[in-house]
Amino acid sequence: MHRKWQFHHVSVIVKDMDKATEYFNKLGVGLFPPTIGPEGVPLIAQSLRGQNSNFAMDLRYAESGFGGLRFELVEPLEGESIYQEFLDEKGEGIHHVAFMVEDLDAETQQMAEQGFTVIQTGETTRGKFAYFDTDQIGGVVVELIQPASPTA
- pTM of this prediction? 0.92
- pLDDT tens for 77-131 read 999 999 999 999 999 999 999 999 999 999 999 999 999 999 999 999 999 999 9
* Domain 6-147 class, CATH top level: alpha beta
- pLDDT tens for 25-75 read 998 888 899 899 988 899 999 999 999 999 999 999 887 777 778 889 999
Sequence ranges of the domains in the chain: 6-147
| Main-chain dihedrals φ then ψ at residue 130, nearest 5 degrees | -145, 140
Which pLDDT band holds residue 2 (cuts at 50, 70, 90)? low
Three-state SS for 87?
Answer: helix
- Going by DSSP bridges, is the β-strand pair 34-36/93-100 parallel, antiparallel, or unpaired? unpaired
- pLDDT tens for 137-149 read 889 999 999 999 8
Max CA-CA distance within the chain?
A: 43
